[in-house]
Copies of this chain bind each other. A is one copy, B any other.
Amino acid sequence: MAINATKPQSRAKGLETASRVRKAALKRFAGAGYAAVSMREIAADVGVRPGALYNHFPTKQDILKDLMLSHMTDLLRAWDAAVSAQDTDPLECFVRFHIRFHLERADEVFISYMELRNLEPENFAVIEAERRRYEAILTDILKKGSADGRYAVEDARVTTRAIIAMLTGIPTWYREGGHLSEQQIEDLYLNMVRKAVAPHAINSQRETG
């Protein structure tokens, strides 16, 4: 059979180095922004000469694309896992999942929202499609809940964006050891979201201590 002859076969050490490149680039991109980070800096973090990076990624742009795409893939896969393991209210499930996932992946989230404009057009299209898939999950929950009268949502797409913007803002200010635990933040935001989409009244609910 015709093997792809352009890509060299990787050894264990190569995969390890590639992984460290991703990790270093993630930190640097999140901290200073893609355009402000040099391949030399990434190489120094990894402990390798700049030229060696090109054994693992064809260009700097490919590192960014790799980071952003795998983040979106992880996000969608993690949602599938979270939803299949639960049978609670889908809206609660989504809100808690979103907050947890985005709090424990602050760097990836930051990059995925800030570096969209540094993606070349074809890469941008790929990432944007994944983002729409994720938004569609919440839109679907809102539409279903609206249809059977549990929610009152005038425009499910707009409400989706409003809720996601609200939730995604959390990692920009949340710090561990602050005066609110992650659990409290989840409860607080869930309560706000529920009230925001409620038809009329909501009985303030709290299930977890």
Contact = CB atoms under 8 A, between A and B. Distances in A.
A36 B118 contact: yes
Instruction: Determine chain A's interface SS by DSSP, over half rule.
Output: helix
B200 A201 contact: yes
A35 interface: yes
A180 interface: yes
A200 B198 CA distance: 10
A155 interface: yes
Contacts of A196: 192-193, 195-196
A33 interface: yes
A165 interface: yes
A117 B32 contact: yes
A136 to B, nearest CB: 14
A204 B169 CA distance: 27
A152 interface: yes
Contact of A33 (B35, B188, B189, B198): B35
A83 interface: no
Contacts of A185: 158
The 8 residue pairs across chains A and B that have the minimum distance between CB atoms = A165-B169, A35-B35, A201-B201, A35-B36, A196-B196, A166-B166, A192-B196, A200-B201
21 contacts: A31-B117, A32-B117, A33-B33, A33-B35, A33-B118, A35-B35, A114-B114, A152-B204, A154-B191, A155-B180, A158-B188, A162-B169, A163-B166, A165-B166, A165-B169, A192-B196, A195-B195, A195-B198, A196-B196, A200-B204, A201-B201
